[in-house]
Structure 1
């Protein structure tokens, strides 16, 4: 018996709502099949998906009692009614299948079913056909109508949305799984490499230092090159290990009451010669020499060192680098400010990522592996603090970090406290 128009409308509205609330796409497609059978007064229905590479159709949704039989059946585009719908991108009504040579009888044979009449519409996105929605055997051998076509086209639109959403979700999930696996492999490689490099680098530095004292000035230049480059490799190894331990949750800090003023001054003094050779004015301004806080002095010194080194590296000859330390409510605030080349706005959000380097031509000019800032971020966050950067390309950068005064209430701050 035909359904009342208001019942059909209510049914379609319910199905539209279900598109956003149903979690399982197969369950939703089954509900569309049931609706297609009910609303067009048919015996059964199915949804086929077009495989563009294989140039054939496969069944995406069929009644449960046909699922096993049709799971391995593929419908060709040639010599099939569903294929005709894909090629013509138009609906198809066949009132008497026995008189149509396009019927692909292998489906009937596999499912032990007799198709007598058919209505099929394309699953269309713009000018592309991605599948077919079909209903079979209208009751009492009646003919399918234009109203049936309109209903099935509406259901086909819902089916297409559900399939595309599911496809996107599968791709996103596969992408994240791949990224997670690559990240795991990368972390394993870094952990193994940094561990294995420590011993030979220690031996190289030890023997090179011994040879420097033994050989005297004759080979001083060559030995210094060995020591300098081995030390650089050791720094890289330690940086890799520091970030890896932090991300793995195995990093530890040894806190003691320390003077931030002393740490900043000592680290800055170690870079004075480098700054002078580059004719850079390196200054330190500290509001109070009694800036005491519970920290791991070595790790904070690494942070300050990395920031000052970066500032000098990316500031041209004749420039200025200013290091400041002061107390703000609940925190110690340290800033390293330069008037160097600055950071492009597009790169600023990523500068604390491991291995990220700002613009390849700058990397080639100034060197570096993109580890210093990621190490600094890890060290500060281990203390419950925060680090960030402000920069204007061509005018300089300001790197700032906060350390909580009270280690018992350490927390990551979400914004800069008012000064």
Structure 2
């Protein structure tokens, strides 16, 4: 017989072997999970489409955590809401793009605090947001949620639900998901930047095409027709001289000179509109004075400039953006308003805002219908004016009623746009 003491030593040794085997299995599982995360991280770098990237991230999270379902939420800071960008498992397809308050639910807590969270029984946790679970049509028992953080800023959350086999989410699961979330957040931010750059590139291409089209139209309708008339009248002069009709030739020559002078004024106006050197050298108000003087000589409607108080020099980007908004507003008056007068007004408020308006006495329109039309057609004129206003931390509004004219109003804070203050990137 084996002495009792030896038997106890054998049992202890067996337990130690089992413990080491369990540790070895745990290490192996952790290593496998890390390898999966590493493969995922490498694959995320090459993913171009943001939507496809988000789906891949969530699929990997569900796989790594051995979960039954999951969701990836991104933070909409302006609205103060979390957006369900991707759903996996259950019947959550209708929940995609749904929104919830950014401070509600498990995900809201994680985003607010920037920390991961494991909840083993959601019914016992007051932070649980049951409405989402009901819409998800998937009974949530347990949740593991980690924040998506880029450069110290939380951009969303990655959450998985109900570990398979009725098991509980572990600290190891949390750590794996945290590693995945760190890689994913960087990939998401890069994909967003790429998408924004691509959209901006497409917008700039469209704006350039519109500018080219507008320039070609303005040249065709203005100087080109004037020069054609100059040539025609020059032929008349030559024919009159050939017949010895000096008086008629002089009358035709007067017409030639008048047409040539008008064509020259229009060409100078076009060049000024393309690159107002006065704006760069002397500032917004002197440039507007020259611009209005040119308009008075060339437009069918009168244009007045009202400067209600002294306006300090703004930085180059701000002055260029304001000038461009005024140009676009005047262009709309020319094309659509059938106005007899337009007034450009600038004033500084006591609160430190610059208010710019362009008002006409034309036919007016229904702003609601125009806004809908702009949204459907992507009207570059209105959209570009709005983007310029936003780039100046300002706002743009359009007020009009049929038969009562139109007023375009731009309002922006002076302090961040003054000369000497670094301005925003210009919007072309």
For residues 84-233 of structure 1, the aligned pairs below 5 Å read: 84-197=109-222, 198-203=224-229, 214=247, 226=258, 229-230=261-262, 232=264
Displacement after TM superposition at 1:225 (Å): 7.0
The SS at the match of 2:115 is: coil
Give per-residue Cα distances to partners, 1:317-347, cap 9 Å, x unaligned: xxxxxxxxxxxxxxxxxxxxxxxxxxxxxxx
Query: Using the alignment, how far apart are the partners of 1:69 and 1:234 within structure 2?
Result: 58
Give per-residue Cα distances to partners, 1:169-228, cap 9 Å, x unaligned: 2212221222122222222222222222323344357659959964999xx9x9897476
What is the match of residue 9 of structure 1? 34
Q: Is the 8 A contact 1:48 1:61 kept in 2?
A: yes
Query: Using the alignment, how far apart are the partners of 1:69 and 1:116 within structure 2?
Result: 21
Query: Using the alignment, how far apart are the partners of 1:226 and 1:64 within structure 2?
Result: 77
Query: Using the alignment, how far apart are the partners of 1:90 and 1:26 within structure 2?
Result: 25
Query: Using the alignment, how far apart are the partners of 1:28 and 1:72 within structure 2?
Result: 16
For residues 238-317 of structure 1, the aligned pairs below 5 Å read: none
Q: Is the 8 A contact 1:77 1:86 kept in 2?
A: yes
Query: Using the alignment, how far apart are the partners of 1:231 and 1:145 within structure 2?
Result: 79
Displacement after TM superposition at 1:15 (Å): 0.7
The SS at the match of 2:126 is: coil
Query: Using the alignment, how far apart are the partners of 1:165 and 1:151 within structure 2?
Result: 22
Q: Is the 8 A contact 1:201 1:234 kept in 2?
A: no
CA shift in 2, pair 1:130/1:223, >3 Å? same
The SS at the match of 2:127 is: coil
Give per-residue Cα distances to partners, 1:50-71, cap 9 Å, x unaligned: 1111211111222166452212
Q: Is the 8 A contact 1:44 1:135 kept in 2?
A: yes
CA shift in 2, pair 1:172/1:72, >3 Å? closer
Give per-residue Cα distances to partners, 1:62-84, cap 9 Å, x unaligned: 21664522125322234411111
CA shift in 2, pair 1:202/1:36, >3 Å? closer
What is the match of residue 267 of structure 1? none
Structure 2 length as normaliser, TM-score?
Answer: 0.49
Aligned length: 251
Displacement after TM superposition at 1:134 (Å): 0.9
What is the match of residue 286 of structure 1? none
The SS at the match of 1:4 is: helix
What is the match of residue 361 of structure 1? 281
Q: Return 5+ residue gaps in structure 2 as ranges.
A: 1-24, 291-428
For residues 340-351 of structure 1, the aligned pairs below 5 Å read: none
CA shift in 2, pair 1:138/1:234, >3 Å? closer
Give per-residue Cα distances to partners, 1:18-57, cap 9 Å, x unaligned: 0222333433333332332232232222211111112111
Displacement after TM superposition at 1:235 (Å): 7.1
Q: Does 1:58 align with 2:122?
A: no
Q: Is the 8 A contact 1:85 1:91 kept in 2?
A: yes
Q: Is the 8 A contact 1:25 1:162 kept in 2?
A: no
Bigger shift: residues 66-75 or 202-211 = 202-211
For residues 19-58 of structure 1, the aligned pairs below 5 Å read: 19-58=44-83
